[in-house]
Amino acid sequence: MDPIETAEEILDTMLGYLGFVVTIERDENHPESGLQVLTHEPKPLIGRQGERLDDIQYLVNRLLQLRMADAPRIRVDVDHYRAAQEYRVIEEAERVADRVANSGRPEKLPPMNAYFRRLIHHHFKDHPKVSTWSPSDSAKIKRITMQPR
């Protein structure tokens, strides 16, 4: 069985047992590794600042790994919450990049987890005026420094 199909089955079973009425589709932006949960009540699944959504994604991936040890990591989103969150983070980073490019002074972004840091570093890897840097310590939440090239 395909890992994404297995993950979809795990997610559907888990949410069904919890009493949620949902539709689960493959995420059009991540068809090989993403699932989109569509529901009329997204707030209980997303939680405060996406914490419950992170927990759901973690559980789906843990259960998937138990069934298929070599399965890729699956991204779970609810009513496009993550996509909107990613857009907002990149939009804010673009504003900071403009300030850094105009002023010539480095600036730090707000603290963020590894996923968002990776997103920012990837987005700005070929930027002509700004480069990104984050410390190499083992903290989960770090701040990216944007500096002029």
Q: What CATH number does residue 136 fall under?
A: 3.30.1370.50
CA gap 110, 134 in Å, rounded: 12
Q: If you count them, how many residues does the chain have?
A: 149
Low-confidence ranges of the chain (pLDDT < 70): 138-140
Domain range for 142: 84-148
Task: Return the pLDDT at 139.
Answer: 67
- Residue 79, token pair as written in the block: 């009513």
Task: Return the pLDDT at 136.
Answer: 77
Domain count for the chain, please give it.
2
Q: Looking at the structure, do residues 90 and 25 belong to the same domain, yes or no? A: no
Task: Return the pLDDT at 83.
Answer: 87
